[in-house]
Structure 1
Amino acid sequence: MSGQIVIVGAGQAGLQIAESLRAEGFDGEVTLLGQERHAPYQRPPLSKAWLAGESADDRLTIRAPDFFAARKIDLRTGAEVEKIDIAGRKVVLADGSALSWTGLALATGARARRADLPGAELPHVRMLRDLDDALEISRRLNSAKHVAIVGGGFIGLEVAAAARKRGCSTVVIEALDRLMARATTGPISAFFSALHRAHRVELHFGEQVAAISERNVTTVSGKSFPADLVVLGIGAIPNDELAAAAGLEVSRGIVVDVYGRTSRKNIVAAGDCAVLRCPDGVLRRFENVHFAVESAKAAAAALLGREKPFASAPWFWSDQFDVKLQMAGLSDGHDLCVERRAGDNAFSLFYYRGRQLIGVDSVNRPGEHLLARKLLDAGLSPDPALAADSAQDLRLLFR
């Protein structure tokens, strides 16, 4: 199959679209446009092992330079797209040049949410979204004595763990009443609160930041925390402005169906910039590597006129200190939670809606996490009493 496919965004999703096009037999032109100056790299380690100084720089690289030449993928870094011309089937770059396309893929990702606070633009106030952000935070951690993290979500807690490992006094300031409240349940939040406090991370809940100065972070309630490095971890905003300006349907992201198709023919989207319209009509955003990769495969197939729906259960992981949290499925709307424990720091929580298993959170239980993904993908729901009995082998359900 021939043609010209342009992919806007050279992160995990954009790269996967390019790879999948070649794997699916597309022999036309593939142009991969990356706004960053770096070739595609892995983002998850930026707030985990790499930031803690436990992983080398070369471990971030996804593909070697000769990979792109061998597969005839025209990778262009530092390429900023200014406009999408749907009628003319062109993308216009900031340098004035234009590229024609027969198929267009949007993998523009998301950006860190900025804080509208006095002092938020000071040089020691940082956000972590890309490699340049991580490089600057890592450099500042070399000399920082007091680190303040604004936001007790995954990014904030992973940065907090890295900061403590590098010897910095660390405080986390969270507006809600528990850690990771938007993504996890109360028992998981409580476990990680105890974990961080055990590593001498200071946690403050129900606190809104009022201002940041060169030396302090001050809250609305009047508390003040010393900080020579402040990291804002208050969420991400999908980069959907190009799509919106071009007339595509957007709703806190570029709306796609399970095949990665947007509201316009021959245009697909994948990864953090996309919001999935599920079969029941509900719009969901999944900001994780699994969705980036699988939605990209679906999008690539759609560009070739094939249907390969994104159908597997979403999964995610977070590394904090010596603990790995792995999540499969979704716990939203559960009415029953059972615990399957293997030790003080090793357990899984099985979430049910009625008798249907809808999600599993695992702490230091990687094998159980993989099993949970298989159960969810197969639509299998072990009896809650069976799931709660760690002596029972749930793998027998597949026999």
Structure 2
Amino acid sequence: MAQDQGKPTGPDLSQGIALADVPDGSKLVGRCGDEQVLLVCRGTELFAVSATCTHYGGPLVDGLVTDDTVRCPWHHACFDLRTGEALRAPAFNPLASWAVEQRDGRIFVSEKLKRATPKPRSGGSGQVPEKIVIVGGGAAGFAAAEMLRREQFQGSIVMISDDQSPPVDRPNLSKDYLAGKAPEDWIPLRSEKFYSKNNIDLRLKTEAVHVDARSRQVVLADGGRIPYDRLLLATGAEPVRLAVPGADQPHVHTLRSFADCKAIIARAATARRAVVVGASFIGLEVAAALRSRDIDTHVVATEKRPMERVLGPQMGEFIRALHEAHGVVFHLEETVGSIDGGKVKLSSGDTLAADFIVVGIGVRPRTGLAEAAGLVVDRGVAVNAFLETSAPWIFAAGDIARWPDPHSGENIRVEHWVVAERQGQTAALNMLGHREKFVAVPFFWSQHYDVPINYVGHAERWEEIVVEGDIAARYCLLRFNGNGRTLAVASVFRDVEILEAEVAMEHTVPV
């Protein structure tokens, strides 16, 4: 999460530094008063912005400057160097900006600039809607609502969520927060005041049961109806349940919501032994978090190697060794046959003792509302490049959306947090009449103890994996190649190179 800012370091930029200290294309971190400032030189122009990303506090000096933007090395947020605006999720808050001037061969950073209200982008077409309804309180739904207000949409926004909590930072639920390293006030994406201040009608614990596309109304479980001019379906996904005897007992958990996470933490407070079912990203992040709490943790999974399907055999072996070094015990190529109280019986006949069980065997998209509304559904809600569904004025984004990905040349559906947020942002613009295609390169990150894994692109299949660097030394880049090009890239502590790979993918769309 956010790093400790501490006392600002580096040269005092208000006193000036030599122009030669910041050659073209370079970055430098200094201080201005009690704040850390990033100074960037692009040709004849100089920019001064906050030195840390507003998402988790990543050091932007270690990121990538391209065009007039800077990208965070940790989770690939992107900021405008001219205005500080957060152009791409996962960051939403802008960077502060400072005035910069040159005198007598020196650079001076002076006053902090007053934050200007972002101008709505031009080019919208058609009638501006008055009523927008968002079904879903996750990444895509939140990002859409935030972007609508950022674009100064003045109409009504109703956000329907069957969750009991406002939109939260879901990736943290299986990482730092579950491990006990992040305070609870870091988890909401925004405080409840944000919704009232921005006139977003957030309705929690509210279930939408039907979409009447003909009359443009969303029907609620209590019989209420909410009219819309534009509708965004962002219903997300739900965990796959374990279908074995005993899996319905109260000490068997899945992890999706804030309430799920709190329930696991409550169990962990008095537990000594846990079983995690599934060696997926969620399963292994949970295992790492439980080991941080000194809980004996066993992982049961059908795979031969953890995460091999996504990251390949070499990374699979590395991840297994990493977790084993931290005390995790694997039971691979195994399934759970039954759960009897504190006993978990495996397909091999072995029995594991557990005070509680966490099931992480995947999720399925919540497409029921779309299907009942008569929308085209094909392994997800089918959308076009503008995230429009088969019905007029209805959009879809996030885990349910299957869209034409220009980079892979295929229709894909992914369950990445950042993709959902960026789709929510694009859907918001298109609901306002812009014709902006969703062309972002898919990105996700995973954290295992002190080892981050970043991944850009999308490769369901590949012909070869080219490894640059040393996986065991935790400094590597893996290129997943197929059809004569790079389909995806994964990295461990090779942050700039994977950002460069992302930019290259953005500029290279296959015919």
Fold equivalence (TM over 0.5)? yes
Contact persistence 2:342–2:354 (CA under 8 A) = yes
Alpha-carbon distance in 1 for matches of 2:334, 2:164:
37
Q: Which residues in structure 2 correspond to 1:117-196 (within 5 Å)?
A: 117-196=244-323
Contact persistence 1:357–1:380 (CA under 8 A) = no
Alpha-carbon distance in 2 for matches of 1:92, 1:61:
27
Q: CA deviation at 1:355?
A: 4.2
Q: CA deviation at 1:301?
A: 2.3
* Paired residues, number: 381
Q: Which residues in structure 2 correspond to 1:18-29 (within 5 Å)?
A: 18-29=145-156
Contact persistence 2:405–2:439 (CA under 8 A) = no
Provide Cα deviations, 1:117-151, integer angstroms capped at 9, x if missing partner: 00000111000011110000111111111111110
Change (3 A) 1:353 1:281: closer
Aligned residue identity for 1:186? P
Q: Which residues in structure 2 correspond to 1:286-325 (within 5 Å)?
A: 286-325=414-453
Alpha-carbon distance in 1 for matches of 2:209, 2:431:
22
Q: Is 1:344 aligned with 2:473? A: yes
Alpha-carbon distance in 2 for matches of 1:153, 1:333:
18
SS where residue 184 of structure 1 aligns?
A: helix
Aligned residue identity for 1:62? L
Higher helix content, 1 or 2: 1
Q: CA deviation at 1:29?
A: 1.1
Percent of residue pairs bearing the same amino acid type: 37
Give 5+ residue unaligned stretches, structure 1. 382-399
Q: CA deviation at 1:340?
A: 1.8
Alpha-carbon distance in 2 for matches of 1:74, 1:290:
24
Give 5+ residue unaligned stretches, structure 2. 1-127
Tell which deviates more after alignment, 283-292 or 107-116.
Answer: 283-292
Change (3 A) 1:380 1:275: closer
CA RMSD of aligned residues (A): 1.8
SS where residue 183 of structure 1 aligns?
A: helix
With normalisation by structure 2, the TM-score equals 0.72
Provide Cα deviations, 1:52-71, integer angstroms capped at 9, x if missing partner: 00101111121123322332
Aligned residue identity for 2:461? G
SS where residue 327 of structure 1 aligns?
A: strand
The structure showing larger relative contact order (alpha-carbon pairs under 8 Å, at least 6 residues apart) is 1
Provide Cα deviations, 1:334-385, integer angstroms capped at 9, x if missing partner: 323222216712211122225422211111333333222222222299xxxx
Q: Which residue of 1 aligns with 2:501?
A: 372
Which of 349, 352, 360 is matched with 1:222 structurally? Answer: 349
Tell which deviates more after alignment, 294-303 or 189-198.
Answer: 294-303
Aligned residue identity for 1:335? E
Contact persistence 2:129–2:230 (CA under 8 A) = no
Q: Which residue of 1 aligns with 2:109?
A: none
Tell which deviates more after alignment, 149-158 or 279-288.
Answer: 279-288
Alpha-carbon distance in 1 for matches of 2:376, 2:459:
28
Contact persistence 2:308–2:315 (CA under 8 A) = no
| Runs of 4+ displaced beyond 6 Å | none
With normalisation by structure 1, the TM-score equals 0.91
Q: Which residue of 1 aligns with 2:374?
A: 247
Contact persistence 1:108–1:240 (CA under 8 A) = yes
Aligned residue identity for 1:377? E
Larger radius of gyration: 2
Alpha-carbon distance in 2 for matches of 1:191, 1:225:
25
Alpha-carbon distance in 2 for matches of 1:149, 1:357:
34
Q: Which residue of 2 aligns with 1:210?
A: 337
Q: Which residue of 2 aligns with 1:394?
A: none
